[in-house]
């Protein structure tokens, strides 16, 4: 056959080459019996297992997406609708119609972020029908490009378990802002969406190139097109190897500005991964995740047992340990119904807070310990915690995560030893987003109003000689990191997988130019405009050659 090209939308950048694996959800093959509510329960349990695996691996944003989907499938209104329709229809059709109704309701919402979740609900219905039928998505036996109508984030998560055999994704429908697209970007799987019905003219086994940078799919590529794609793969493979080789180099801009690169972690495995990727230490060690299913406040010894393995790997290195950040979507059973969160909650339980502080100091012996306080709102709160710390040499840091805390940054910094900015919550509280629905992208932190708050905090902290770190995942996005560096942030703490690219970004930048771009970004009309300013500073290689090779038999670069 002759080469032909399909045009859609770019959803996850990169190029992938492989054999087509075409997937149809066969509606005629679904069973006419079975309990649709049991099928929903099976999907919820599967999502919970996936979220736990991702969180253990340090993929917190991806775990949040699966947990959000679990909440959707457990929605009492959805279950009630499924039960009502099951009295009139066969179970598979009840699932399809109920999820379609809920998806239509979401699609009509004026908030585009919430409307985009309609796809998630539809795909949860598809997944529930699969559970009812006892079927699953096809397994790849060779390097493949998955061709499908649409996918949910859990489907993309499943592909991660295919040992790299699914190298790229091409969808007839889908959206670049969907949770599936966010998952694909996180896992480095190139994806094009909105390709239309023509995508099903592709046959199983056809050679396919997916270009996630421009949203195109080439079927039966010519020799010259194939060689060009393979050349791109090779160039980007070399770039990744260069970045790995640079792990021993300092993160310093071309004009001498030093930026400390740290990693976020919850487990000993994540700490190890961060150190192997060249992290100078840990900028955020979460402590609440070990106790989300606890039936009572953890004791001092329980805290110690949970912390010791991770901190043992940080002897002589910086170890920033955050106290319990219970509340909202991280509420254990024994605190069900609480309205407070973070440090406010812990200060209402001073005995339990003091027990954790003692355990942290014990477990962190031999490290450069910093204790980080979540959701600080006032200088008085920092003083109250300092009175509970037995070791006067322990550094106390305040997390600035709300607009009101940013407004009080000067007084909070004066009482703290360092400042940390949590961009995830700062974005959600400032823009009024629902914490249980992940923001569309970490690049939302480039909204000028968010950049203005970050700049305000940095200025206040530096005025009293305090360093500032950013520990939200936005710091791992090259363009956002450029703006943060330009605003004067001293430390960036990200997931271990982000460190190589982040180091490369820092070393390519001029701090003077980054500061100029940040000043312009503060007056930009949108996050997109602010990111464009940052992107202009990054070389063509930086903007187009950033990625890693995934897969073995085929070719994929992101």
The verdict on residue 530 lying in a domain is: no
Do 262 and 372 form a contact (C-beta atoms < 8 A)? no
Quick one: CA torsion of 61, 66, 69, 75, rounded to 10 degrees?
Answer: -110
CA distance 261 to 23: 42
What domain count does the chain have?
Answer: 3
The active-site residue out of 24, 462, 471, 544 is: 471
Clarify whether residues 399 and 499 are in a common domain: yes
CA distance 373 to 325: 8
Do 557 and 231 form a contact (C-beta atoms < 8 A)? no
The verdict on residue 6 lying in a domain is: yes
Quick one: CA torsion of 160, 161, 165, 170, rounded to 10 degrees?
Answer: -40
The verdict on residue 485 lying in a domain is: yes
Chosen domain end from 121, 136, 151:
136
Q: Token pair of 3, please?
A: 């080469």
Question: Phi/psi of residue 440, each to 5°?
Answer: -60, -35
- Give me the domain span that covers residue 434: 252-523
Which residue do the tokens 């989300």 mark? 292
Clarify whether residues 292 and 334 are in a common domain: yes
Clarify whether residues 289 and 218 are in a common domain: no
CA distance 534 to 478: 8
Clarify whether residues 155 and 262 are in a common domain: no
CA distance 469 to 418: 8
The predicted structure's pLDDT at residue 539: 57
The active-site residue out of 102, 179, 263, 303 is: 179
Clarify whether residues 375 and 500 are in a common domain: yes
Helix, strand or coil for residue 444? helix
What is the tens place of the pLDDT at every residue in 526-548?
Answer: 999 999 999 888 753 344 444 33
CA distance 474 to 441: 8
Residue 69 sits in a domain whose CATH number is 1.10.274.10
Other CB atoms within 10 A of residue 539 CB: 10
The verdict on residue 102 lying in a domain is: yes
Q: Residue range 371-395: average pLDDT?
A: 95
The verdict on residue 531 lying in a domain is: no
With CA atoms as reference, report the closest residue to 210 among 137, 152, 144: 144
With CA atoms as reference, report the closest residue to 251 among 497, 542, 492, 548: 492
The verdict on residue 116 lying in a domain is: yes
The predicted structure's pLDDT at residue 370: 98
Clarify whether residues 286 and 372 are in a common domain: yes
Residue 323 sits in a domain whose CATH number is 3.20.20.60
The verdict on residue 533 lying in a domain is: no
Do 394 and 445 form a contact (C-beta atoms < 8 A)? no
Clarify whether residues 417 and 482 are in a common domain: yes
DSSP characters over 372-437: EETT---HHHHHHHHTT-S-TT-EEEEEE-SHHHHHTHHHHHHH-SEEEE-HHHHHHHHHT--TTS
What is the tens place of the pLDDT at every residue in 508-524?
Answer: 999 999 999 999 999 99
Residue 556: pLDDT above 70?
Answer: no
Do 222 and 42 form a contact (C-beta atoms < 8 A)? no
Query: Of residues 374 and 117, which shows the higher confidence score?
Result: 374
With CA atoms as reference, report the closest residue to 164 among 199, 181, 139: 139
Clarify whether residues 456 and 367 are in a common domain: yes
What is the tens place of the pLDDT at every residue in 488-497?
Answer: 999 999 988 7
What is the tens place of the pLDDT at every residue in 235-261?
Answer: 777 888 888 888 989 999 999 999 999
The verdict on residue 383 lying in a domain is: yes
Helix, strand or coil for residue 549? strand
Clarify whether residues 333 and 459 are in a common domain: yes
CA distance 195 to 500: 33
The mean predicted confidence, pLDDT, of the chain is 87
Q: Residue range 358-364: average pLDDT?
A: 97
Do 227 and 252 form a contact (C-beta atoms < 8 A)? no
Chosen domain end from 136, 153, 171:
136
CA distances from 185 to 13, 153, 205 (A): 7, 11, 25
The predicted structure's pLDDT at residue 12: 85
CA distance 399 to 397: 7
Clarify whether residues 240 and 294 are in a common domain: no
The predicted structure's pLDDT at residue 437: 42
Taken as a whole, the chain contains a residue count of: 558
CA distance 106 to 118: 5
pLDDT class of 109 with cuts at 50, 70, 90: low
Residue 169 sits in a domain whose CATH number is 3.50.30.10
Clarify whether residues 222 and 266 are in a common domain: no
Q: Which of 177-186, 214-223, 377-386, 459-468 has the lowest mean pLDDT?
A: 177-186
The predicted structure's pLDDT at residue 20: 93
What is the tens place of the pLDDT at every residue in 433-489?
Answer: 654 444 445 678 999 999 999 999 999 999 999 999 999 878 988 999 999 999 999
Query: Of residues 85 and 174, which shows the higher confidence score?
Result: 85
179 is annotated as an active-site residue: yes
The reported pTM is: 0.70
CA distances from 190 to 12, 15, 176, 214 (A): 5, 6, 12, 11
Q: Please give the share of the chain, as a percent, with pLDDT higher than 90.
A: 55
Chosen domain end from 113, 136, 159:
136
Clarify whether residues 289 and 211 are in a common domain: no
What is the tens place of the pLDDT at every residue in 314-350?
Answer: 999 999 999 999 988 788 889 999 999 999 999 999 9
Angle 493-427-62 from CA coordinates, rounded to 5°: 60
Q: Token pair of 208, please?
A: 């396919």
303 is annotated as an active-site residue: no
């Amino acid at each position: 056959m002759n080469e032909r090209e399909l045009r859609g939308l770019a959803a996850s950048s990169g190029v992938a080459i492989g054999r087509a694996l075409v997937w149809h959800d066969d509606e005629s093959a679904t069973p006419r019996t079975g309990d649709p509510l049991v099928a929903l329960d099976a999907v919820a349990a599967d999502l919970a297992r996936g979220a736990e695996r991702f969180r253990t691996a340090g993929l917190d944003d991806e775990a949040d997406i699966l947990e959000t989907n679990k909440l959707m499938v457990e929605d009492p209104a959805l279950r009630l609708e499924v039960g009502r329709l099951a009295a009139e229809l066969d179970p598979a059709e009840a699932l399809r119609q109920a999820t379609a109704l809920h998806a239509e309701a979401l699609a009509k919402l004026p908030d585009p972020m919430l409307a985009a979740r309609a796809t998630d609900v539809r795909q949860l219905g598809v997944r529930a029908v699969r559970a009812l039928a006892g079927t699953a998505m096809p397994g790849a036996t060779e390097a493949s490009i998955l061709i499908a109508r649409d996918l949910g984030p859990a489907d993309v998560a499943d592909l991660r378990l295919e040992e790299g055999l699914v190298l790229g994704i091409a969808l007839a429908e889908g959206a670049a802002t969907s949770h599936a697209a966010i998952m694909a970007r996180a896992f480095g799987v190139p994806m094009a969406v909105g390709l239309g019905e023509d995508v099903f003219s592709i046959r199983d086994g056809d050679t396919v190139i997916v270009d996630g940078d421009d949203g195109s799919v080439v079927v039966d590529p010519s020799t010259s097109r194939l060689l060009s794609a393979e050349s791109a793969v090779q160039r980007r493979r070399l770039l990744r190897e260069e970045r790995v080789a640079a792990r021993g180099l300092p993160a310093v801009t071309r004009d001498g500005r030093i930026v400390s690169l740290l990693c976020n972690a919850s487990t000993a495995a994540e700490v190890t991964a961060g150190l192997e990727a060249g992290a100078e230490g840990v900028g955020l060690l979460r402590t609440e995740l070990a106790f989300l299913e606890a039936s009572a406040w953890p004791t001092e010894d329980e805290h110690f047992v949970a912390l010791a393995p991770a901190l043992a790997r940080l002897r002589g290195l910086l170890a920033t340990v955050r106290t319990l950040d219970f509340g909202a979507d991280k509420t254990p059973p024994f605190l069900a119904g609480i309205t407070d969160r973070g440090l406010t909650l812990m200060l209402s339980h001073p005995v339990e807070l003091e027990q954790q502080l003692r355990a942290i100091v014990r477990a962190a012996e031999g490290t450069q310990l910093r204790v980080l306080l979540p959701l600080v709102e006032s200088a008085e709160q920092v003083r109250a915690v300092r009175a509970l710390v037995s070791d006067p040499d322990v550094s106390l840091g305040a997390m600035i995560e709300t607009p009101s805390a940013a407004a009080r940054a000067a007084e909070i910094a004066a009482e703290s030893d360092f400042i940390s900015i949590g961009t995830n919550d700062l974005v959600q509280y400032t823009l009024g987003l629902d914490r249980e629905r992940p923001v569309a992208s970490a690049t939302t932190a480039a909204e000028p109003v968010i950049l203005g708050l970050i700049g305000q905090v940095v200025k206040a902290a530096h005025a009293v000689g305090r360093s500032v770190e950013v520990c939200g995942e936005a710091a791992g996005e090259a363009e956002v990191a450029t703006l943060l560096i330009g605003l004067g942030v001293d430390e960036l703490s990200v997931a271990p997988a982000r460190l190589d690219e982040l180091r490369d970004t820092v070393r390519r930048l001029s701090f003077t130019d980054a500061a100029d771009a940040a000043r312009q970004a503060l007056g930009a009309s949108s996050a997109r405009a602010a990111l464009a300013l940052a992107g202009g500073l990054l070389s063509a290689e930086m903007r187009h050659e950033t990625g890693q090779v995934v897969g073995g038999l085929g070719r994929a670069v992101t």
